[in-house]
């Protein structure tokens, strides 16, 4: 039996896959990688040619206002993931396994990783190295592509003593490399290095076959991840990592727009004539004539409204 070829609609962008990412590396092309948690952001980033989207558990902080990443649940992550996957026609989408979605058992890990795939994601990400390698093995054995996450791993920030740069000595970089090799042995296709010196990232990348991405890890990696709220200027909070470059000031722009709208409403400038639904003038006159005179209504209800 010949199966019908799976063809994308004409003109549709070609989806980025693990093979595409490997070919980027072979050609020395660095991947552009941002976080996304909602449909419009996914659509805009996808249209802009961003290659990879992370539905990060940073949603706890960027979208839900928690002080760290621990508060977001698997159910909440799946809502974000489905929205992003609906918007991403080309970009490779990674679902970030939230705290306690994979730590307790292989079964949890496989079930929750699978839920991200059912939601439309192309891969999942887990924090940790050797100590989560058996979970990563269980997930990859279930057919799910896994990206590891080493260096500053926010889910264990209490153990790390806060949000601190990692891999600052040769011994620490060797431990990072061992962790990356453990992930490689467990079948991961990539690792993300967060908040490590550029030399440390280069050292790890030279010693593994994994694709190596960085967030605050310098230029010697296969692609750069940023939290979209950080580059767009829409993060509400005090954290300002040194590796961020701002490309927009959405906080200022959004606040300006809301202030202008509120001023217009209060001053009666909105809605204006062009915002009203026109109807047949005869019907309009009939409805106007049938309206309760304001004076009577005010008297009946003791409402002092004078809206004509």
Residue 194 annotated to the active site: yes
Cβ–Cβ contacts within 10 Å for residue 265, how many?
11
Site string for ligand KIV, 89-108 (x = CB under 6 A): -------x------------
Cβ–Cβ contacts within 10 Å for residue 212, how many?
25
Q: Is 41 in the site for ligand KIV (CB under 6 A)?
A: no
> What's the min distance (Å) between Cβ of 144 and ligand KIV?
17
Candidate segments 54-62, 81-89, 139-147, 232-240, binder of ligand KIV by CB under 6 A: 54-62
* E-strand stretches of the chain: 31-35, 52-55, 92-96, 123-127, 146-151, 190-194, 211-215, 223-226
Question: Whose CA is closest to 69, among 197, 227, 246, 245?
Answer: 227
Helix (H) or strand (E) segment spanning residue 239 = none
Q: Is 230 in the site for ligand KIV (CB under 6 A)?
A: no
- The residue within the footprint of ligand KIV, chosen from 41, 58, 112, 224 (CB under 6 A), is 58
- The residue within the footprint of ligand KIV, chosen from 57, 122, 179, 230 (CB under 6 A), is 57
Q: Is 191 in the site for ligand KIV (CB under 6 A)?
A: no
Whether the CB-CB separation of 56 and 95 falls below 8 Å is answered with: no
Q: Is 35 in the site for ligand KIV (CB under 6 A)?
A: yes
DSSP 8-state symbol, 87: H
- The residue within the footprint of ligand KIV, chosen from 46, 122, 194, 230 (CB under 6 A), is 194
- The residue within the footprint of ligand KIV, chosen from 53, 54, 84, 193 (CB under 6 A), is 54
Name the catalytic one among 107, 194, 206, 249: 194
d(CA 39, CA 85): 8
d(CA 228, CA 247): 10
Q: Which is nearer to ligand KIV, 237 or 271 (CB)?
A: 237
d(CA 124, CA 115): 10
Residues serving a catalytic function are 194
* Positions in the binding site for ligand KIV (CB under 6 A): 35, 54, 56-58, 69, 96, 192, 194, 215, 225, 227
């Amino acid at each position: 039996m010949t199966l019908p070829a799976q063809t994308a609609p004409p003109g549709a962008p070609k989806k980025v896959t693990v093979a595409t990412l490997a070919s980027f590396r072979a050609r020395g092309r660095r991947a552009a990688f941002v976080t996304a948690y909602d449909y419009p952001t996914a659509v805009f980033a996808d249209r802009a040619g961003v290659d990879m989207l992370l539905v990060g558990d940073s949603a706890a902080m960027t979208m839900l206002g928690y002080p760290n990443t621990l508060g977001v649940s698997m159910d909440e992550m799946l809502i974000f993931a489905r929205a992003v996957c609906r918007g991403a026609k080309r970009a490779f989408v990674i679902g970030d396994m939230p705290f306690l979605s994979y730590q307790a058992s292989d079964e949890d890990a496989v079930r929750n990783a699978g839920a991200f795939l059912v939601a439309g994601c192309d891969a999942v990400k887990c924090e940790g190295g050797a100590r989560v390698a058996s979970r990563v093995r269980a997930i990859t054995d279930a057919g799910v592509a896994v990206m590891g996450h080493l260096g500053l791993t926010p889910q264990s920030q209490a153990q790390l003593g806060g949000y601190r740069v990692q891999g600052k000595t040769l011994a620490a970089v060797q431990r990072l490399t061992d962790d990356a090799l453990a992930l490689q042995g467990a079948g991961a296709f990539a690792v993300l290095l967060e908040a490590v010196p550029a030399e440390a990232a280069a050292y790890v990348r030279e010693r593994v076959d994994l694709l190596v991405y960085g967030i605050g890890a310098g230029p010697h990696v296969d692609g750069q991840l940023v939290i979209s709220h950080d580059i767009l200027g829409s993060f509400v909070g005090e954290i300002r990592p040194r590796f961020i470059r701002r490309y927009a000031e959405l906080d200022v722009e959004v606040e300006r727009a809301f202030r202008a709208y509120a001023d217009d409403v209060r001053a009666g400038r909105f809605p204006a004539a062009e915002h009203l639904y026109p109807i047949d003038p005869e019907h309009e006159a009939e409805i106007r004539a049938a309206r309760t005179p304001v004076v009577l209504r005010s008297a009946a209800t003791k409402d002092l409204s004078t809206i004509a």
